[in-house]
Amino acid sequence: MMNTKQPLLLIYLAIVFSLGIQAGYAQTTCKNGLGRVLYERLPNQQLQGYDDDVVRDTAPPFRVLEKCQDLCLRDRTGTNNLVRTCTSFDFQPGSRITSFGGTSEYEESLCYLTSEQAGPEGIGSLMLVPNSVHFNEICLTSNRPERECPSRRYVFERHPRKKLKLPISDVKEFTAANRSDCEDKCLNEFAFVCRSANFDSTMRSCTLSRFTRRTHPELLEDDPNSDYLENTCLNAERRCDGLAVFVKEENKRLGGPFEVDIFNNMTLEECQTMCLRAEKYFCRSVEFDDQTKQCILSEEDSISQKDDISISSSPTHHFYDLVCLDNQRATDYPDNSVTSHLFSSGRRPDTAFQRYRNSRLGGEFHSEITGRSLSECLDECLRQTSFQCRSAVYSDRFRTCRLSRYNQKDGMRIIYDADYDYYENLMLNVVGGGDADGHGGAGNGGSHRPGEHGGSNWRPPSKDDDRYGTGGGGG
């Protein structure tokens, strides 16, 4: 005789399994399955007074962050895996205590999970807290994250009450219902690579741009009605319009507990490639020790941690910023032809310059250009065809760029100057322009804003004078 309990048990298990799948699926989808729940990353921000659950862990900080992101997405508590609504959390990464024998130990990392959100989505308030990062759930309908950064949990870095005030010629403006609508418009933009957006909650306006606060830090301003949004769902090929390069600072380290990955027994080239190709996070800088071969990757850089770059305890430990050299002439290079060869066959960016802070080169400079950003200044140095640009000095305060045919090797002294930083060109062996003595015609002087074309000395490169040669080049 057939046992009637067995089919009923199987049906019951099937229903439970089905509901479990739907429940798990529902945690990461939104708008009736049309959208996906992802995070905004808000550095140096903390939600005040709404801690429903606390996670404490001495594992590597990024592993703890992944755990907290997963718990919040699944609406679970950290201790007993109980169901509890979560829509945002604060993360405080632990600092590395020791690193020996290939193993690193860390101070306790903390996550504060909550069902509340900051306004306008919720009633919470954000407060400026250094070394704390707030993660806010948001519903996005664009399918670009699935295609370009499927392993990345956060796709925008958000700066409340900030605005990147770019010229009208360098932005594309839309009306947006809310901030997530603006973020979707940025992700879906096809006419250019949208790397940042401003959302004005009062005007319901959304302005998109290919520039960021990193290419134009001097244009980031306070604005009580705006949120500055930086797209972090960019693969290596879409990261820059112009050249992607590393800028080295010798015997320096990044302050704060911001490392996301640490590797041993690597070459500098491998370390830099790991940064550019990181899938789970948006890597912006690396630290590398020439002696121990230790490689440290970080989501922060010299822009976000401007006042927290310190001298390393090891003279062989150096800091490298991954920088986009702003290419004003992007429209002259269809399909990113300027940079496409950089990424062919996994080619990494060069270490193009070495930075010396609060310094300038003694002696005369070849040409001075005003009204430029740092990335424009360094780009101009590499592009010079009338003379060999061996170094540049740049002033954030005066927005002044001075190019020189000399560097320290020519016997020139570096002089202290609080208004300038000195940049030595490390690509002289792979960059053309001028003769061996650095002689050539006049500099191009003048100035132009983002979006304009200028510089009488500039000409589009051809395949016959590729500055990188045929064999690639290392820094």
Cα separation, 404 vs 272, in Å, equals: 28
Cα separation, 366 vs 382, in Å, equals: 14
Cα separation, 190 vs 92, in Å, equals: 36
More confident: 11 or 199: 199
| Residues 278, 37, 78: CA angle, nearest 5 degrees | 85
Encode pLDDT of 94-148 as tens digits. Answer: 998 876 666 788 999 999 999 999 989 999 999 999 999 999 999 999 999 999 9
CATH 3.50.4.10 in the chain is located at 28-141, 156-234, 241-465
| Residues 334, 336, 340: CA angle, nearest 5 degrees | 130
**Joined tokens for residue 409:** 């090797």
CATH of domain 241-465: 3.50.4.10
- The DSSP element (H or E) to which 145 belongs, if any, is helix 144-148
* pLDDT value of position 327: 58
Closest C-alpha to 252, from 299, 305, 325: 305
Q: What amino acid is encoded at 261 in this protein?
A: D
Cα separation, 453 vs 468, in Å, equals: 24
Encode pLDDT of 27-60 as tens digits. Answer: 588 988 899 999 999 999 999 887 789 999 999 9
- The DSSP call for residue 301 is -
Which residues share a beta bridge with 347? none
Is residue 333 within 8 Å of 341, Cβ to Cβ?
no
Encode pLDDT of 203-255 as tens digits. Answer: 999 999 999 999 898 899 999 999 999 999 999 889 998 889 999 999 999 88
pTM value is 0.81
* pLDDT value of position 349: 78
Buried b (16+ CB within 10 A) or exposed e, 235-259: ebebbbbbbbbbbbbeebbbebbbb
* pLDDT value of position 471: 33
Among 87-91, 105-109, 412-416, 456-460, which is the least confidently predicted range?
456-460
Is residue 116 within 8 Å of 123, Cβ to Cβ?
yes
When pLDDT is cut at 50, 70 and 90, the band that residue 307 belongs to is confident
Cα separation, 186 vs 2, in Å, equals: 61
When pLDDT is cut at 50, 70 and 90, the band that residue 170 belongs to is very high
The arithmetic mean of pLDDT across residues 350-378, rounded, is: 93
Give the number of other Cβ atoms within 10 Å of residue 204's Cβ.
14
* pLDDT value of position 29: 87
Cα separation, 359 vs 418, in Å, equals: 7
Q: What amino acid is encoded at 181 in this protein?
A: D
Q: Under CATH, domain 28-141 is a member of which superfamily?
A: Hepatocyte Growth Factor (3.50.4.10)
**Joined tokens for residue 153:** 């949990």
Give the number of other Cβ atoms within 10 Å of residue 369's Cβ.
23
Is residue 274 within 8 Å of 264, Cβ to Cβ?
no
Is residue 175 within 8 Å of 204, Cβ to Cβ?
yes
Cα separation, 250 vs 263, in Å, equals: 20
Q: How far apart are the first and last CA of the chain?
A: 79
Coil/strand/helix, residue 130: strand
Cα separation, 41 vs 30, in Å, equals: 19
Coil/strand/helix, residue 12: helix
> Yes or no: is domain 156-234 CATH 1.10.10.10?
no
The string of DSSP codes covering 348-395 is PPPEEEEEETTEEESS--SEEEES--HHHHHHHHHH-SSS---EEEEE
More confident: 333 or 173: 173
**Joined tokens for residue 43:** 């550095």
* pLDDT value of position 297: 96
Number of alpha carbons in the 13 Å side-chain half-sphere of residue 368: 7
More confident: 247 or 20: 247
Encode pLDDT of 368-384 as tens digits. Answer: 999 989 999 999 999 88
